[in-house]
Amino acid sequence: MKRGIPMAWHGLNRMVTGWLVLLIVTFASSSINAEPVNADADPTLLVMGDSLSAAYGIERDEGWVSLLAERLAGDAQVINASISGETTSGGLQRFTELLGQQQPDIVLIELGGNDGLRGLSPNQMQANLASMIEQSQDAGAQVLLLGIDIPPNYGQAYRDAFTGVFYSLAEEYDVSLVPFLLEDIALNDALMQSDGIHPTADAQPIILENVWPELKPLLETTHQAAVQ
């Protein structure tokens, strides 16, 4: 008995040692063959929007941001940080933390509609959007600004000041601009929900096609920078 126990332990030790060696060799081999964490990493897109990008009134997977994620599946990561009812002020309050957490390569800013519907100051809206653009550029991210319009009953002077914000920012900061996100949608009752403000599920692919011509060059630039 006394001699058998040490021999049994000896056999067990040899078995455990063999397992450990196998694990170490396997781990070392996988570590050697693994690429660096950031090598050829897919670009990250951060969408900062309101209900137009949060799929208000429809299924979330029907929204244009989800359709974009499907189109870019395997080529880019799309993070939708949009919240229904969001203003440029609310977006700005959340933005710094989101930018640090997600470290996006491209930031899509779709905010301002709720500022306009509430009759808020276009100058303040411009300042809020400018801050988000500046923070994005300082972090090395490209920016795509998604413009919007408001109903005619707000008066032409206010509408001109409102829509002028997007053009002014695009020129000042040299960022890409989609002038009107709901082009070919807003005046088509069949593509708008009963509230007359939010697009239907059928309109979402059109929104994506409105965004895509401006977004595609940014994606190509990001890819080229990654492989250099």
176 given a catalytic annotation: no
CA distance 28 to 33: 9
- Please state the φ and ψ torsions of residue 203, each to the nearest 5 degrees: -80, -20
Say if CB 43 and CB 106 are below 8 A apart: yes
217, amino acid identity: P
Cα 19 from chain centre: 45
Residue tagged active-site, from 50, 51, 53, 115: 51
Instruction: Select from 114, 65, 61 the least CA-distant residue to 85.
Output: 114
The count of C-alpha atoms lying within 13 angstroms of the C-alpha of 210, restricted to the half-sphere facing its C-beta, is: 22
Q: Scanning the structure block, which residue is given the tokens 């990250």? A: 44
Radius of gyration of the chain, Cα coordinates, nearest whole angstrom: 26
Distance from C-alpha of 50 to C-alpha of 64, rounded to nearest angstrom: 12
Active site residue 195: yes
DSSP characters over 16-73: HHHHHHHHHHHHHHHHHHSPPTTTTPPPEEEEEE-TTTTTTTS-GGGSHHHHHHHHTT
Of these residues, 53, 105, 115, 198, which one is catalytic? Answer: 198
Tokens of 22: 């196998």
Which residue out of 10, 75, 195, 202 is catalytically annotated?
Answer: 195
198: annotated active-site residue:
yes
**Annotated catalytic sites, by residue?**
51, 195, 198
